[in-house]
Amino acid sequence: MLSVAPASPPGSVQVMHRKVQSVQAGGNVTFSCQLVKKEDVLQVTWQKETDGAEDNIATYSTMNGQKIAKGYVGHVSFAHTELQVSAISLHGVTFQDEGCYKCIFNTFPLGAVSGRMCLKVYGKAS
């Protein structure tokens, strides 16, 4: 199910994404974000919200290509790399992966436009 979340500033740009996803521990999950309207995007950044702080996971730009942050190499990969549509996959999900994630489209001249989604991790059935 896709939902459209208003972007900032209100009424200008919107990002489509799923608000909540669930996955079993040990499974894989993919987060996807798409700009509703074509914009001039310079870079897409993915972040995880951790204790009120935002931890960079991955970035993609035409100039620098795909970059996965050190702590996420082997655990996160890009599933889709375009400047208008971006998706990352988490592999072998653990309970530490539970939380909220942001996709940030750095656009010109509007600035940053983001979507936010949360992940719920559940245990294996016994």
pLDDT score for 6: 41
How many angstroms separate the Cα of 21 from the Cα of each of 13, 38, 69, 120, 122? 23, 26, 23, 6, 11
The three-point CA angle 115-108-89 to 5° equals 35
- The SS3 of residue 97 is helix
Looking at per-residue pLDDT, the higher value among 116 and 6 belongs to 116
Which of 24, 113, 96 shows the shortest CA–CA distance to 55?
96
Predicted local distance difference test score (pLDDT) of residue 126:
52
pLDDT digits (tens, 9 = 90+) for 42-100: 999 999 998 888 999 999 999 999 999 999 999 999 999 889 999 999 999 999 999 99
- Once rounded to an integer, what is the mean pLDDT over residues 16-40? 90
Domains, the chain, in order of start with CATH, read: 3-120 (2.60.40.10)
Q: pLDDT tier at 17 (50, 70, 90 boundaries)?
A: confident
Q: How far apart are CA 73 and CA 107, in angstroms?
A: 26
Q: Which residue has the higher pLDDT, 9 or 70?
A: 70
